């Protein structure tokens, strides 16, 4: 996987999370092989066009609830359907922004509808192809730790 394919996703993540008041620190990138362990909350979105593959955004339920609370102005108290929908939309925003940044590099891509899946001990198979995990540590503007979000990117030319 080329750096020029990953940089738009990182740029998008920083921008989108900052727009909701989060400070973001990128952890060390790591390569994962199939099958991978998922998180309690996972959203997958397909990528087609010059790049093909998928992006999976995963986090634990507590982190997802903190992110949903930042996104929804009237607030949420539990990880209900509204909170779940906001996390699916977050993934749509992250990937949509990344595709927009990629288009500035002459790369054309389109996204599928995001799919949310929940559960403990989720296992994700990518057909044996390696994926790059971009770990993002989130903090609120007041410095309160929120948690980690993993953006797993599997793209092919």
Q: What would the pLDDT profile of 143-157 be if each residue is shown by its tens digit?
A: 666 789 999 998 876
pLDDT at residue 86, as a whole number:
96
- Residue entry with tokens 């952890």: 27
Q: Provide the 3-class DSSP secondary structure of residue 11.
A: helix
| Burial of 114: CB neighbours in 10 Å, binned 0-12, 13-18, 19+ | buried
How many Cα atoms occupy the beta-carbon half-sphere of 117 within 13 Å? 12
Say how far apart CA 59 and CA 10 lie, in whole Å. 16
The per-residue pLDDT for range 40-76, each reduced to its tens digit, is 999 999 999 988 889 999 999 999 999 999 999 887 8
Domain count, the chain: 1
pLDDT at residue 98, as a whole number:
92
Average pLDDT over residues 1-13: 81
**CATH assignment of the domain containing 88:** 3.40.1550.10
Report the DSSP beta bridge partners of residue 147.
Answer: 138
Say how far apart CA 9 and CA 16 lie, in whole Å. 10
Range of the domain at 137: 3-156
Statement: residue 1 has pLDDT above 80: no
Question: Across the chain, what does the average pLDDT equal?
Answer: 88
pTM: 0.91
Say how far apart CA 112 and CA 95 lie, in whole Å. 10
């Amino acid at each position: 996987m080329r750096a020029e394919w990953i940089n738009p996703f990182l740029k998008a993540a920083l921008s989108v999370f900052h727009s909701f008041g989060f400070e973001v620190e990128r952890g060390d990138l790591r390569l994962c092989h199939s099958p991978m362990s998922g998180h309690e909350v996972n959203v997958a979105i397909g990528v087609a066009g010059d790049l093909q593959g998928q992006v999976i955004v995963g986090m634990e339920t507590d982190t997802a609830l903190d992110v949903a609370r930042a996104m929804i102005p009237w607030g949420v108290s539990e990880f209900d359907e509204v909170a779940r929908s906001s996390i699916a939309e977050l993934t749509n925003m992250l990937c949509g922004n990344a595709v927009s940044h990629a288009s500035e590099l002459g790369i054309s891509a389109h996204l599928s509808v995001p799919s949310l899946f929940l559960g403990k001990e989720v296992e994700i198979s990518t057909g044996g192809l390696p994926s790059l995990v971009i770990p993002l540590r989130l903090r609120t503007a007041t410095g309160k730790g929120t948690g980690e979000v993993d953006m797993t990117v599997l793209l092919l030319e």
